[in-house]
Amino acid sequence: MTRLEKIDEGKAKALYTTGNPDQLIQYFKDEATAFDGKKKGIIKEKGILNNKISSRIFRHLEGRGVKTHFIDMPSDREMLVKKLRIIPIEVVVRNIAAGSLSKRMGVDEGTALKETIIELYYKSDPLGDPMINEYHIRAFGLAEMGELRQMETSALKVDRILSEFFVERGIILVDFKLEFGIHRGEVLLGDEVTPNGCRLWDRETREKLDKDRFRRDLGKVEEAYQEVLRKVME
């Protein structure tokens, strides 16, 4: 499948039309950003690593009944996907306190949560993706309540599947971000599932294997992404 016209470009990926109006090419870039774009850089071959990681994970999820936009991986940096009408809500699933949750709640990073937390954020780069709740969603018409319930149910299912998937490979799934869209009337998981949007820690050492290495200037960013790819391909 050949990519044609670029129709959208974000911080980590670009979207292109194809000869099929129902399908797009999602192109993975090496650019990296953090803190709402205030920090920028390049992670060598990040696009290739993330495409391979996400393709593997989407295939795993599809095999366990999670409907996604994934179709195929035609090249190292390209993912063929179903065209979605994106729902402008990011769903964040948290199993262990880390990042902004630790700061917001005043708890040490690494604190185990008594139960999984779901947080909702309005997907808007200019506004810094502010946290929202169901009242905002209804008041601003961001999604139908039925769609939101499906997103939350799917997010918890993904959490169960991927927590088991990663722990079998010596990795703890700390938290992660998901995006969804509508395709032919169905709510599908979209975007990507990679160390860009997941916090992944080594089960034994608690070493970070995700974008926090870039955010916090911890070094060995490429090595961490490569280690995740190696383990998810096992």
pTM of the model: 0.95
Domains annotated on the chain, with CATH:
6-82 (3.30.200.20), 85-220 (3.30.470.20)
pLDDT tens per residue across span 111-170: 999 999 999 999 998 999 999 999 999 999 999 999 999 999 999 999 999 999 999 999
| Torsion sign (Cα): 122, 124, 126, 128 | positive
**pLDDT by residue (tens digit) across 44-75?**
999 999 999 999 999 999 999 999 999 999 99
User: Using CA atoms, how far apart are residues 18 and 6, in angstroms rounded to an integer?
Assistant: 10
DSSP 3-state assignment of 105? Answer: helix
